[in-house]
């Protein structure tokens, strides 16, 4: 089954599309949301290498308990956005994973505590801007990783 395009997705409580409303200047407050721990905003440019679109294997998910995380394509072809809600015990809700095919015009702000796959690009080496709140306690306080017993396998 083909992945639905991110542009047509209802992301509801998982993430926010980062795009203008009616082609006009639009403020998107989730992008600059302050974390709930002492820290600061951090911006980085990530440079992932492409994976084979016929054999995408997601072996772990991550979430950020103190921050949203925004991805803004600078130079990218197609890329994957895979999201999962968080269960009451803090683990990913694997029964409700949602995966989308994003393109060079798609930017997304993943909400705090939402499980997601690492940045996965398909067509060519990419450059993607990433903005999030960084805890003053250091990187270990910013992200939680969940290794999957069985990889999530996608194909585009």
For residue 1, pLDDT over 60 is answered with no
> Which pLDDT score, from 0 to 100, does residue 2 have?
61
pLDDT range class, residue 19, cuts 50, 70, 90: confident
Integer Cα distance of 133 and 33 in angstroms: 8
| Average pLDDT for the chain | 91
For residue 107, pLDDT over 70 is answered with yes
Domains of the chain: 6-19+42-154 (2.60.120.480)
């Amino acid at each position: 089954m083909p992945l639905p395009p991110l542009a047509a997705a209802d992301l509801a409580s998982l993430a926010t599309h980062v795009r203008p409303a009616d082609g006009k200047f639009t403020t998107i407050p989730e992008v600059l949301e302050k974390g709930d721990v002492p820290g600061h905003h951090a911006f980085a440019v990530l440079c992932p290498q492409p994976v084979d679109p016929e054999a995408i294997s997601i072996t772990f998910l991550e979430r950020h308990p103190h921050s949203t995380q925004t991805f803004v394509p600078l130079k990218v072809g197609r890329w994957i956005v895979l999201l999962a809600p968080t269960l009451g015990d803090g683990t990913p809700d694997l029964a409700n994973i949602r995966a989308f095919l994003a393109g060079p015009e798609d930017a997304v702000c993943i909400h705090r505590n939402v499980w997601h796959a690492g940045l996965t690009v398909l067509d060519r080496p990419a450059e993607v801007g990433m903005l999030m709140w960084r805890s003053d306690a250091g990187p270990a306080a910013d992200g939680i990783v969940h290794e999957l017993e069985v990889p999530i396998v996608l194909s585009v």
